[in-house]
């Protein structure tokens, strides 16, 4: 099958289940389902390739129609190919630069502390492969407390996937930590007070939540993907989630990512309402938008917020 034989190609990547490939045919169109070996981000995308013939160029003069040169150096195909390669290189370079930053949080001093709604916390960054055992246990426990219910029967397998993906070097974290026992309270803390020296006193016991994010390529665009946003039940509804997402969006923009993306279980109606409030929309790459039938079978949606016109067009509007 050449690329001209396939006017419509549906590529479905379910990253939780690697290496499985199947192909469906609908008359002259083909739908291929590929499952990407990168673990656990769900991605579903429909690509349209133009049908059949190479383009014909209309010219003036005696020979009114002439076949355009379509192969070889300088041809339209070759130019298009080199444009695509350049864009791919530029995207990879942006990801490489973002990944090379040691501490993204350090660049956003407005987000180092949060003192509102009875909370007095500070943020701290971390990396997946540097998490100490107590921290890994903390993350696993909070995930179970918050996510077992929305995942339902899928939880046991999803939990295994999450345990694997939480400790890899690409996994970046921002932790929410409480100032330790009464040393600094909301009342005693003054705006701008230097409290960094207190941070060492806080261990896993005073964690209130975390966000796990990565810089990845989706639909050939660089994006910041939120793998997890988890707050302790006692810390929910106090503005912390919004604060964390504002930080995430600023980090995405600073690193020239086209969008922030994330996956939400449909059963997690609270999280859906939260992200809707923050103006996230169901991405055109989400199963329900690629194919409503497949969407019905899937328990999740992919949400996004785009920051430039190309990302908006590809990830929100679904223009290919
Ligand atoms: C979802 C979660 C991250 C939201 O964080 P949060 O700190 O509780 O939310 P916030 O207090 O920052 O809420 C921000 C805004 O969203 C709104 N919001 C939050 N939850 C809402 C809900 N269930 N329904 C409607 N609006 C909601 C708030 O009213 C607030 O609006 P405002 O800015 O006008 O005041 C948090 O509740 C959580 O950790 N839940 C469990 C884990 C989870 O589901 N994570 C998401 C997985 S994808």
Chain segment 289-316, per-residue pLDDT in tens:
999 999 999 999 999 999 999 999 999 9
The answer to whether the CB of 303 falls within 8 A of the CB of 282 is yes
Q: Is the pLDDT of residue 210 over 90?
A: yes
Residue 30 has pLDDT above 60, yes or no: no
Domain 101-317 has CATH 3.40.630.30: yes
| Count of other CB atoms within 10 angstroms of residue 245 | 20
Quote the CA–CA distance of 131 and 128 in Å, as a whole number: 6
> Given the CA of residue 242, which atom of ligand 1 is nearest to it?
12
Structure tokens at 241: 């989630």
Distance of alpha carbon 98 from alpha carbon 121, whole angstroms: 26
The pLDDT assigned to 179 comes to 83
Question: Which of 142, 237, 304 is the pocket-test mutation for ligand 1 (most atoms within 8 Å of CB)?
Answer: 237
Residue nearest to atom 17 of ligand 1 (CA): 274
Q: Which residues line ligand 1 (CB under 6 A)?
A: 146, 229-231, 236-242, 262, 264, 268, 270-271, 273-274, 277
CA 236 – ligand 1 centroid, Å:
7
Strand partners, 150: none
Instruction: Encode pLDDT of 188-199 as tens digits.
Output: 333 444 333 344
**Substitution candidate for ligand 1 out of 228, 263, 274 with most atoms within 8 A of CB:** 274
Minimal-distance CA residue to ligand 1 atom 25: 273
Contact predicate 116/242, CB 8 Å:
no
Q: What is the mean pLDDT of the chain?
A: 79
- Per-residue burial over 82-117, b if 16 or more Cβ lie within 10 Å, else e, is eeeeeeeeebeebbeebeeeeebbeeeeebebbbee
The mean pLDDT of 280-292, rounded to a whole number, is 97
Which residue's C-alpha comes closest to atom 4 of ligand 1? Answer: 241
Greater pLDDT, 238 or 59: 238
Q: How far apart are CA 300 and CA 229, in angstroms?
A: 15
Whether residue 41 is predicted with pLDDT greater than 90 in this model: the reply is: no
Q: Is the entire prediction scored with pTM above 0.85?
A: no
* pLDDT of res. 73: 73
Nearest residue CA, atom 2 of ligand 1?
241
């Amino acid at each position: 099958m050449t690329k001209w034989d396939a006017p419509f190609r549906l590529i479905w990547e379910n990253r939780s289940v690697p290496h499985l490939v199947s192909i469906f045919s609908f008359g002259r169109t083909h739908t291929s389902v590929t499952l990407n070996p990168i673990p656990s981000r769900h991605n579903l995308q429909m690509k349209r390739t133009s049908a059949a013939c190479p383009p014909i160029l209309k010219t003036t003069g005696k020979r009114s129609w002439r076949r355009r040169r379509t192969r070889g150096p300088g041809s339209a195909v070759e130019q298009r190919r080199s444009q695509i390669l350049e864009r791919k290189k530029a995207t990879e370079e942006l990801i490489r630069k973002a990944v090379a930053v040691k501490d993204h949080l350090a660049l956003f001093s407005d987000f180092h502390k949060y003192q509102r709604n009875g909370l007095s916390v500070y943020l701290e960054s971390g990396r997946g492969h540097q998490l100490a055992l107590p921290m890994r246990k903390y993350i696993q426990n909070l995930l179970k407390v918050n996510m077992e219910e929305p995942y339902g029967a899928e939880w046991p397998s999803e939990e295994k996937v999450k345990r694997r993906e939480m400790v890899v070097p690409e996994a970046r974290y921002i932790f929410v930590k409480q100032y330790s026992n009464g040393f600094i309270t909301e009342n005693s803390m003054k705006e701008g007070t230097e409290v960094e020296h207190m941070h060492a006193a806080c261990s896993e016991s005073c964690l209130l939540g975390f966000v796990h994010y990565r810089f990845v390529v989706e639909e050939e665009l660089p994006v910041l993907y939120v793998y997890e946003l988890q707050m302790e039940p006692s810390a929910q509804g106090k503005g912390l989630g919004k604060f964390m997402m504002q930080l995430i969006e600023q980090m995405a923009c600073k690193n020239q990512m086209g969008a922030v993306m994330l996956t939400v279980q449909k059963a997690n109606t609270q999280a859906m309402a939260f992200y809707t409030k923050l103006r996230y929309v169901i991405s055109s790459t989400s199963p329900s938008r690629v194919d409503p039938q497949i969407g019905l079978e899937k328990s999740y949606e992919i949400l996004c917020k785009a920051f430039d016109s190309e990302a908006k067009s590809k990830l929100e509007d679904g223009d290919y």
